[in-house]
């Protein structure tokens, strides 16, 4: 029995290529560009990082995730806090009474909002494994997020090169590998960017639904929803405020009511942060202690990155207010103020990732090729290191 030669396959391959091209031409131009950026920048990082599994001794971020069925190569995207989401998907939420002041309670999964695990659980009804659904969901959301950031710039500035630079800035941001992992960041990025795009386009119902879903995905989504409502109130846009605020209130209020009925604590997701040491000290004392640990070298480069993220959020808030609008500026400032109000500094490198107006500003600031090459190359190098560390279960910020 002989193998068929390439000339025999050529017609079929040509037909397939033609069909793919025809399908691509039917896609919106923004989605085509987003897909090319994803395939050209993010996918190689993921493939290379996944291939390094085992080159480093597995760290605690890999060994602490509950067992799941599914392809092993997809499990490399489930690390650290992904374990909490896996636990929620498999067993539901856990709760601990964290309402007693100054008393450290047990860590509980109620601290993580339901948007991401609910969609993964729904996707598993198709028979796909948890890692497979998580990968499809997070990467589909990442693609929508790239498109959303680009569309936002096109809408606000009408500048195609700037839109692409903003999207690239998001993809090569040092902590941006979390957008590919089993986390809720990419889902919030998609909901937040498109929520504002639709709001500015006057498509109010889709905007309200996207902003409400973002509020159930990350706590920063509640801040974005609040910033939109505050600005609408100041502008006295009552009809828009009624729709956006009404849909958002139903979503967030329903979650609070569920917590009250389930655990007797409507703010259980906030109080649960005490299990991670938040609220143990006054905000000023917590920040000062973190600063001392950073200066002494106890935290290494992680502490300095967290404080650098604080500066980036502050500058983003001030610049976004001036260059983009009050909603974007207020949102960035709220993203900074919310953790600092409880004294939280750790994890700011992930929190800053949610302040997506920062990437729009980077699209403006990288107009000079020299600056763009410097920031993109250094960001990509740091991203690559973080991705390898993350895949092998080591702390990556």
Residues 6+ apart with CB under 8 A from 141: 186, 187, 189, 190
Per-residue b or e along 130-157, where b marks 16 or more CB atoms closer than 10 Å to that residue's CB: bbbbbbebbbebbbbbbbbbbbbbbebb
Distance between CA atoms of residues 116 and 114, nearest Å: 6
Structure tokens at 79: 């690390």
314 by Cβ neighbours in 10 Å (0-12 / 13-18 / 19+) ranks as middle
- Give burial (CB, 10 Å; 0-12/13-18/19+) of 278: buried
310 and 336 Cβ atoms separated by less than 8 Å: yes
Three-class secondary structure assignment of the chain: CCCCCHHHHHHHHHHHHHHHHHHHHHCCHHHHHHHHHHHHHHHHHHHHHHHCCCCCCCCHHHHCCCCCCCCCCCHHHCCCCHHHHHHHHHHCCCCCCCCCCCCCCCCCHHHCCCHHHHHHHHHHHHCCCHHHHHHHHHHHHHHHHHHHHHHHHHHHHCCHHHHHHHHHHHHCCCCHHHHCCCCCHHHHHHHHHHHHHHHHHCCHHHHHHHHHHHHCCCHHHHHHHHHHHHHHHHHCCHHHHHHHHHHHHHHHHHHHHHHHHHHCCCCHHHHHHHHHCCCCCCHHHHHHHHHHHHHCCCCCHHHHHHHHHHHHHHHHHHHHHHHCCHHHHHHHHHHHHHHHCCCCCCCHHHHHHHCCHHHHHHHHHCCCHHHHHHHHHHHHHHHHHHHHHHHCCCCCC
Q: Which residue's entry shows tokens 């998580």?
A: 134
Contact status, residue 187 vs residue 353, Cβ threshold 8 Å: no
The pLDDT score that the predictor gives to residue 105 is 86
What the block records as the tokens of 195 is 């929520």
Angstrom distance (rounded) from CA 365 to CA 129: 42
Task: Round to whole Å and give the CA distance between 361 and 47.
Answer: 29
Q: Which of 258, 350, 271 is nearest to 111 (CA)?
A: 271
| HSE value, Cβ hemisphere, 13 Å, CA-based, for 103 | 8
- pLDDT of the residue at 99: 82
Write down the pLDDT at residue 1: 43
Which residues of the chain have a pLDDT value below 50? 1-2, 6, 9, 16
């Amino acid at each position: 029995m002989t193998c068929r030669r390439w000339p025999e396959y050529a017609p079929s391959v040509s037909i397939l290529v033609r069909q793919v091209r025809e399908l691509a031409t039917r896609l919106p131009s923004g989605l085509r560009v987003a897909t090319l950026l994803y395939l050209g920048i993010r996918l190689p990082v993921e493939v290379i990082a996944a291939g390094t599994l085992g080159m480093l001794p597995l760290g605690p971020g890999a060994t602490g995730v509950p067992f799941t069925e599914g392809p092993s190569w997809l499990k490399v995207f489930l690390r650290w806090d992904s374990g909490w989401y896996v636990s929620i998907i498999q067993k539901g939420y856990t709760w601990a009474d964290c309402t007693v002041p100054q008393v450290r309670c047990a860590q509980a999964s109620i601290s993580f909002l339901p948007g991401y695990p609910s969609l993964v659980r729904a996707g598993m009804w198709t028979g796909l494994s948890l890692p497979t659904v998580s990968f499809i969901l997070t990467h589909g959301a990442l693609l929508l997020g790239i498109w959303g950031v680009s569309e936002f710039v096109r809408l606000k500035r009408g500048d195609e090169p700037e839109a692409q630079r903003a999207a690239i800035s998001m993809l090569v941001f040092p902590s941006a590998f979390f957008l590919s992992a089993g986390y809720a960041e990419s889902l919030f990025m998609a909901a937040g960017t498109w929520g504002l795009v639709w709001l500015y386009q006057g498509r109010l119902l889709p905007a309200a639904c996207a902003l409400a879903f973002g509020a159930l995905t990350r706590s920063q989504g509640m801040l974005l929803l609040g910033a939109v409502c505050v600005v609408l109130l100041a502008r006295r846009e009552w009809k828009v405020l009624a729709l956006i605020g009404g849909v958002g209130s139903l979503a967030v209020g329903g979650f609070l009511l569920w917590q009250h009925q389930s655990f007797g604590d409507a703010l259980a997701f906030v109080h649960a942060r005490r299990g991670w040491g938040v609220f143990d000290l006054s905000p000023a004392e917590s920040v000062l202690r973190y600063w001392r640990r950073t200066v002494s070298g106890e935290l290494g480069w992680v502490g300095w990155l967290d404080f650098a993220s604080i500066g980036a959020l502050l500058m983003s808030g001030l610049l976004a207010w001036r260059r983009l609008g009050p909603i974007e500026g207020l949102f960035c400032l709220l993203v900074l103020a919310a953790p600092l109000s409880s004294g939280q500094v750790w994890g700011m490198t992930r929190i800053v990732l949610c302040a997506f107006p920062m990437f729009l500003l980077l699209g403006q600031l990288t107009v000079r090729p020299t600056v763009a090459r410097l920031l993109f190359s250094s960001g990509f190098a740091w991203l690559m290191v973080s991705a390898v560390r993350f895949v092998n279960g080591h702390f990556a910020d």
